[in-house]
Homo-oligomer: A and B are copies of this chain.
Amino acid sequence: MTIASLLNPASVAIIGASENSDKIGGRPLRYLQEFGFQGEIYPINPSRQTVQGLVCFPSLDALPAVPETVIIAVAGESAIAAVEACAAAGVAAAIIMASGFGELGEDGKRTEAYMRTVAHQANMRLVGPNSQGLANFGNGAVLNFSTMFIESPPADGPVACISQSGAMSVVPYGLLRARGIGVRHVHATGNDCDVSVGELAAEVVQDPEVRLLLLYLETLADPEALARAAQVARERDVPIIALKSGRSEDGRRAASSHTGAIANSDRVVDAFFARNGIWRARGTQELVRATELYLQGWHPEGRNLAVISNSGATCVLAADAAEHAGLPLATFPKAIEAELQATLPSFASPRNPVDITAALLTDSTLFSKVLPTAGKDPNVDLFLIGIPVSGKGYDFPRFASDTSAFIRDRGKPVALAAPQSKVREAFSAQGVPVFETEDQAIDALAQFVDHQRLIQRARRTLPITLRPTSVGCSATLDESAALDYIEQTGVPVARHKLCHNAEEAIDFLAASSGSIVLKACSRHIPHKSDHGLVKLGIADADTLNVAFAELVTGIEQLGHRFDGILACEQIKGERELMIGGHIDPTFGAVVVIGDGGILVEAMPDNAVLLPPIDEGSVRDALRSLRIAPLFEGVRGQQALDSAAVTKVAQAVAELLASSVTDIQSVDINPLIVDATGAWAVDALIEVASTNETQDAKRPTITTK
C-alpha cells in the first residue's frame, strides 16, 4: 500500500462518526461533503442510522466494501481496537486522531509501536496518533478536523503544508489564505508513529500542481525519507522551506568532546537541510514571507539588485537593507546610465538606486521608461520598486501594469515595497509580489535567491551518507594512541614519542630539529591545558628534566593513571585550526571544521559538514568562518593551505564512516596550518565501550 491512499482515497470510513460537525468525528464528514470529495464516505457509529445525512454503519465489518482509508476518531483502547480492526479488514491506511499516546511518555510509545506492528503485518500504513488529519483541497479528501478551514475558507493552489503539529499546519495556511494564495495540501501528522513528515513530503512533491512545500518539524526522526523528498523536489523544481523548532533545547547537551559540544544536533539539522537544498526558516514569518516570490517560477542567475523609487529616502534605505542582506547593488553600464540620464529630470540620479524623484508626479510615463531601461542591464538579477507615497496624481495602476508587462517580458524577479495598501493591491492584482516596506521586500528577495543557490548547490553535491547509529558509553584513547591512529588514516601528524622517563625524552629532543613540547599523557585528562600539563618550547636537557618532573608530579596530584609523557616536535604555523567529527544518533558521521586552540567553545568559529565531503563543501565551510580571510592571505601573510585542510577533513570523515561502530568522536585540535600544509599536534578520540570505566580498546581500521 502506498502513501497515495492517504492523499487520494477512493473511499473513506470514519470510525466514531458524529452528527455534530464541531466534534472531531463530525468535522471531517462535513469537510468531505463540503469540499467536493468524490469518493465513497462511510460513517461508522453503532448508535446511529444516519450521520450528517449519510447512511451510518455499526462497524467496519458492516460496510458494503473495504474502505481504502479510515479516520479513527475514537480514543484510547477504542483507537487501538480500531487499528486492529482496520488491519484485519485490509484497509490501506488509517489516520489516528486521538492524542494521549507517545507524547505522554514511554507507555504511549510502546502502544504506538504495537499499533505500527499490527498495521505493518497487514501492509497498512498509519498516520498519527495525535494527528489533526490530512487535507487535500485538490480532490476534497479533507480527512481533517481543524477549525481553520471554516475560519479561512480554502482555495486550491500551488502550496503544500506538512506539519507534525496541528496548529502549525494551519498557521501558514491561514497566513497565506489571508494573502489570497491558494493552498492544496494541509497535513498534520502528529506523533509520526509510522508515516513520517518526510515520507508524506516525498509523496506530496510529486503532485504536479504543487510548486512550494512548507514543513513544520519538531523532531527529525526520518531524515532519509526527507532527503528522498528533497531530491524529488529538486528534480521537480519545488522549493522546500522547513521550520524546525526546538533550537533552544538542543543547544544545551553536554558533551566531553569539543566536536560533540559544538555540533549539537540543531547545527547538524542546519547542515542537513542546507545539504539537501531545504531552506531552514528561523520562525513562522520566514516560513511564509517570500511565498509570492517562490510561486513565480523565477530562476535568477545572480543576486545583483536594482532599486527604483520615487523617494530618495527609500533608495538609501533599500541600499542599507540590501547591504545587510548581502545583495549587491548592480553598477549600471555607462550606456544605461546615459539612457536613464536622458529620461530623468536633470536633478535625478541615473545611478543605482534610481531615484525618479517627485517628477513622477508630473510625468507618469517616467516609471515605464526607467524600469525597462534598467532592465536592459544583463547584470541586474533582481528589482525592487519602492513607492513609499502615492496619492492623487500618481498613476499607480499604470505603474502596476507596466511592472507586470516588464516581468512577462524579462522573467526577472521584481518586488514592490509600498506601505499604502491600495498601492500594494494594485500591484498584487497584476501578479507582482508586494511588501509593506523595503526591508521586508529585500529580506524576502535575499531568502529567495539564497535558497535558489542552495538548491543549485544541492543538485551538484553528492547525497549525504546517512548512517544513524545508537551512541552508547564511550572511553577515551590516550593522546599518543590517538595521534598514531589518525596518522594511519593519512593525517599529517607532528613527530612524537610516548616517553616513560626523561632519558627517552632527551633522546627525542636530540633527534629534533627545533624545540619540543612535553605533554602529560592520560586518557582520563582530555583537556590537558586546563591543568597546566603542557610544557612548550623545550630546547635543552636541563629545562626538559625540570618540565618532565613537573608533569609527572602534576598527574600524580590529579590522581590519574600515568600513561607516559608525550614528547612532540613543536611546529610553528600561522594558525591553530580544529577539525573534529562525531557520530550523531540521527545523522551518523558529522564533521566540524573551524578555528582551533583552547577557546573553541568559549569563542566558537566553525562550520558543520555532513560526509561525503568534497572540496567545494570545505571551501564553502571555510568561507563561512570568521577566519575566512586567512585562507585568502591577509596583511602580507600567505594564504593558509586550504587543500591540506580539506584532506584532513576528508580523512576524519572517512575514519568515522569506516568505523562507526567503534569511534564516537575525534578532535584534532590544534591542527597547525600554514601556507604549506597542516599538521595535527593533539588529538582526542572517543571509542565505544560497553563499560565506561573499562579501558578503551583500540578500534580496528577497516579502510586505508
Contact = CB atoms under 8 A, between A and B. Distances in A.
A518 B286 CA distance: 55
Contacts of A390: 147, 151
Contact of A320 (B171, B174, B246, B285): B246
Given A167-B314, A347-B104, A391 B598 contact: no
A437 B289 CA distance: 12
Total copies of the chain: 2
Interface in A591-645: 598-599, 602-603, 626-627, 629-630, 634-636
Contacts of A165: 311-313
Contact of A248 (B216, B251, B319): B319
Interface in A544-583: none
A377 B76 CA distance: 36
Given A629-B602, A635-B598, A389 B171 contact: yes
Interface residues of A, number: 81
A147 B148 CA distance: 39
Nearest to A603: B626
Interface stretch (A6-14, A118-126, A525-533): A525-533
A171 B438 CA distance: 11
Contacts of A389: 146-148, 166-167, 170-171
B320 A283 contact: yes
A52 to B, nearest CB: 16
Interface string A376-393: 000000000000111111
A316 interface: yes
Given A311-B167, A393-B147, A436-B285, A316 B218 contact: yes
A245 interface: yes
A527 B629 CA distance: 18
B440 A529 contact: no
A439 B282 contact: yes
Nearest to A422: B151
Interface string A198-240: 0000000000000000001010000000000000000000000
A626 B626 CA distance: 11
A251 B527 CA distance: 41
B530 A636 contact: yes
Contact of A22 (B146, B247, B392, B532): B392
Contacts of A320: 245-248, 283
A458 interface: no
Interface string A165-205: 11110110011001000000000000000000000000000
A521 interface: no
A61 interface: no
A174 B165 CA distance: 37
A59 interface: no
A163 B388 CA distance: 14
A508 to B, nearest CB: 23
Contacts of A310: 167
A635 B171 contact: no
Contacts of A635: 527, 529-530, 598-599, 602
A321 B283 contact: yes
A599 B393 CA distance: 55
Given A285-B437, A285-B439, A419 B171 contact: yes
A636 B251 CA distance: 23
A313 B218 contact: yes
A529 B636 contact: yes
A694 to B, nearest CB: 28
Contact of A316 (B22, B246, B314): B246
Nearest to A600: B635
A688 B218 CA distance: 61
A15 interface: no
Contact of A147 (B391, B419, B436): B391
A311 B148 CA distance: 14
A93 B301 CA distance: 54
Contacts of A246: 316, 320
A702 interface: no
A391 B151 contact: yes
A410 interface: no
A583 to B, nearest CB: 25
A317 interface: yes
Interface of A: 22, 99-100, 103-104, 146-148, 150-152, 163-168, 170-171, 174-175, 178, 216, 218, 243, 245-249, 251, 282-286, 310-314, 316-317, 319-324, 347, 388-393, 419-422, 436-440, 527, 529-532, 598-599, 602-603, 626-627, 629-630, 634-636
- List the 9 shortest-distance A-B pairs measured between CB atoms, nearest first: A147-B391, A283-B439, A165-B313, A167-B311, A248-B323, A284-B437, A602-B629, A530-B636, A245-B316
Given A175-B437, A602-B635, 6 more contacts: A151-B420, A171-B437, A175-B436, A245-B317, A529-B635, A599-B629
